[in-house]
Structure 1
Amino acid sequence: MSGLTLTIDTDAWRAHQRAVVERTPGIIPVAKGNGYGFGLARLAEQAQALGVRTLAVGVPGEVAAVRDHFDGDIVILQPWRPFDSRAVELARDPRVISTVSRLDDLEVLGNLGGDVRPRVVLEVLTSMRRHGLATTDLAGVEAASGMVEIEGWTIHLPLHSDATEAEARALASRAVDAFRASVWLSHVPTATAQAIGRELGIQEPLETRLRIGTDLWLGRRSAYATTATVLDLHEVSRGERVGYHQHRCPGDGWVVVVAGGTANGVGMEAPTSGSTMRSKAISVATGALEAAGRALSPYTLDGKKRMFLEPPHMQSSMVFLPKGSTPPEVGDQVPVEMRMTTALFDEIVAARTA
């Protein structure tokens, strides 16, 4: 192994996915962006092996990356817009389901022409306030139902809470009253989705489906590991200048050059809300470190996370290991904590079994 490496215990990883699918009838796996670190093609292959009938991608450009690896329906989560030429072309594909969040766009889709009626899911506006039809627009869907194939309603909710479940029930009821179709949900428990289906059923439960990404692919953390190769090692003295920016070493020790940099997503973090005292304290502490030219790296050396000597480079990073520690050897693999939704690995390998 070399570079930044993702090692997968494939048996454990796949066992977790099977368990999630078995307890989630009608599941819609989500494969978007960087494929949660595993890659879009690999996730599409896994979805095919799991026997699911629908796979979700984020944007039109991702359809090409999965369609040769998955033979079911592909739903595009980004709402359809008439100015996106790729989205317009894909709307004519019988395997593709477009998400519609505006009545004007639904009318345009219905008048595209061609041999295939576009397949759509209709997004309902939630307290997320991202995309969706307002409840006042739901009544207008019936008139367009003859021009498109409505596969269901999709309701993208905030992260799970008691308020989220109540919102899911209320919006699903209003949507189904406007046009009877299955309900696709996110961020609610399976039991809640099934209960909503029973509540909305007349003679039998209405089908509800759950979109799941993170819990499906990343839900068993012990099934994969991320490591980096030690590329070089240099002993240094306190005050010695190193790196592009010639920062002074904070003490005697070693410069450890490790694989992984900005091109791999190293050092990239999503903004946080800072909603708790602990998270605010961490923000203050890390901000002070960065102001002093120091930042904690995601690399673990001799049992502890160590400081960057300067911001990560494109494909490598320079980390300081203080004297008194045991330095690694060139070629060693060291643990690195990666945010999987932004990670791009140099190598992905299956774990060796005994």
Structure 2
Amino acid sequence: MTLRLNVDADAWRSHHRSLLEQVPGLVPVAKGNGYGFGLENCAREAVALGVDAIAVGTAHEVLPVRLAGWSRDVVVLNPWRPADPLATSLLEDEHVISTVSRTRDLDQLRQSHQRARIILELDTTMHRHGLRAADLDHVVTAGLALEGWAVHLPANGSLEEATALARAALAHQHAPVWVSHLSVADYAAFSTEMPVETRMRVGTRLWLGAPEVLATTATVLDVHPVKRGDRLGYHQARAPRDGFIVVTSGGTAHGIALAAPVPQRSLRQRINTIADGVMRAAGNALSPFTVGGRKRPFAEPPHMHSSMLFVAGRRPRVEVGDEVPVTCRMTTTRFDEVVLGQR
């Protein structure tokens, strides 16, 4: 009884090939939970695409992609820090490219790990990691293998920002420029303007850019009739009315009902947040599971591997063994099965 991700593999791979044709120098990103597909599946698909480099989030993700068959270059996106022993050991690996974002770390590497392959990350308007413009005069890469400059842009990447930062870096030292989050058209324009090789790291757009070829389902594990006022679940809450408890696969261990904080920028977002808060306060937290054509409330918070839903009415609308749709945040969900087949 599983939480399952079904993938129309032919259509999914067609999307990959189409994007690869539009983005020369594409570098697939495989990090975290592999965007829901798993690091291993992402690595195998990257092998099939024939690209020469893959990017992972952390040093700990290098081994999983290699065990899946990846044997070419691996870029570690999290910047190297002296206190990370695994990342430090990978500096000796000829197929690992480490990211450096501080001059003090760069200077230390020049002393301790000459010939290490590195990418220098520039500070963008994200302000997460990176060398500032004032740092460039202090950048010395002698003895190290500089593989390029990294420009990690915000989600809606700016061609103007990428171009300005790249030009400032290239005025100091020529090397390939690795960007992210540019549109296909902006990347083409950027590549044309640059006097060096360009690469673009792509994760979400590559793996999740064709949502119509994905289907996520959970299995119905049990169905129980309840009367209004019956106690149920770990917390012994009372059933709000007559109906059914529908138990499905999928719980906190899978990432069900986990959500990243979202800034409330628009009026619509604020209204949705207020409505959700009112429902929760009334004990009706809406679940991501669809039963009988609509999403049903949790009977209580999800358990580790299952969820209890409340379905009001005289009929449960599902039976044990049925598969029901479930809306998942792909970057936080770990599926029991990822099925690469045909829809």
Q: Do both share a fold (TM > 0.5)?
A: yes
Unmatched 5+ stretches in structure 1:
none
- Give the secondary-structure state (helix, strand or coil) at the position aligned to 1:67: helix
- Give the secondary-structure state (helix, strand or coil) at the position aligned to 2:137: helix
Residue 180 (structure 2) aligned to one of 168, 183, 186: 186
Matches within 5 A, 1:129-148: 129-141=127-139, 144-148=140-144
TM-score w.r.t. structure 1 length?
Answer: 0.94
Matches within 5 A, 1:103-122: 103-113=103-113, 117-122=115-120
TM-score w.r.t. structure 2 length?
Answer: 0.97
Determine if the alignment matches structure 1 residue 195 to structure 2 residue 189. yes
Instruction: Give, in whole Å, the separation in 1 of the partners of 2:333 and 2:194.
Output: 41
Instruction: Give, in whole Å, the separation in 2 of the partners of 1:289 and 1:192.
Output: 43
2:110 corresponds to which letter in structure 1? G
> Equivalent residue for 1:91?
91
- Give the secondary-structure state (helix, strand or coil) at the position aligned to 2:335: coil
Query: How big is each residue's C-alpha offset from its partner over 1:132-181, in whole Å with a ceiling of 9 and x where there is no partner?
Result: 0010111222xx322110011001111225xx222111111101111111
Report the RMSD for the aligned CA atoms in angstroms.
1.3
Instruction: Give, in whole Å, the separation in 2 of the partners of 1:319 and 1:351.
Output: 29
2:232 corresponds to which letter in structure 1? V
- Give the secondary-structure state (helix, strand or coil) at the position aligned to 2:92: coil
2:266 corresponds to which letter in structure 1? T
> Equivalent residue for 2:37?
38
> Equivalent residue for 1:234?
224
> Equivalent residue for 2:251?
261
> Equivalent residue for 1:65?
64
Shift of 1:326: 5.0
| Count of aligned residue pairs for this structure pair | 342
8 A contact 1:262–1:315 mirrored in 2 = yes
> Equivalent residue for 2:284?
294
Matches within 5 A, 1:205-220: 206-220=196-210
Matches within 5 A, 1:145-156: 145-156=141-152
Unmatched 5+ stretches in structure 2:
none
Instruction: Give, in whole Å, the separation in 2 of the partners of 1:220 and 1:324.
Output: 38
8 A contact 2:23–2:187 mirrored in 1 = no
> Equivalent residue for 1:7?
6
Query: How big is each residue's C-alpha offset from its partner over 1:164-207, in whole Å with a ceiling of 9 and x where there is no partner?
Result: 22211111110111111111111112332232233232xxxx21
Residue 301 (structure 2) aligned to one of 290, 311, 314: 311
1:317 corresponds to which letter in structure 2? S
Which piece of structure 1 moves more, 298-307 or 2-11? 2-11
Shift of 1:293: 2.1
Percent identical residues: 50
Shift of 1:214: 0.4
Q: Residues 346, 200 of structure 1: CA spacing in aligned structure 2 closer, same or farther, 3 A cutoff? A: closer
2:109 corresponds to which letter in structure 1? L
Instruction: Give, in whole Å, the separation in 1 of the partners of 2:304 and 2:72.
Output: 38
Shift of 1:352: 4.7
8 A contact 1:17–1:216 mirrored in 2 = yes
Q: Residues 352, 172 of structure 1: CA spacing in aligned structure 2 closer, same or farther, 3 A cutoff? A: closer
Which piece of structure 1 moves more, 321-330 or 293-302? 321-330
Residue 281 (structure 1) aligned to one of 254, 261, 271: 271
Determine if the alignment matches structure 1 residue 25 to structure 2 residue 24. yes
1:50 corresponds to which letter in structure 2? L
Query: How big is each residue's C-alpha offset from its partner over 1:24-66, in whole Å with a ceiling of 9 and x where there is no partner?
Result: 1000100000011111011001001000111000000000101
8 A contact 1:193–1:209 mirrored in 2 = no
Which piece of structure 1 moves more, 49-58 or 184-193? 184-193
> Equivalent residue for 2:159?
165
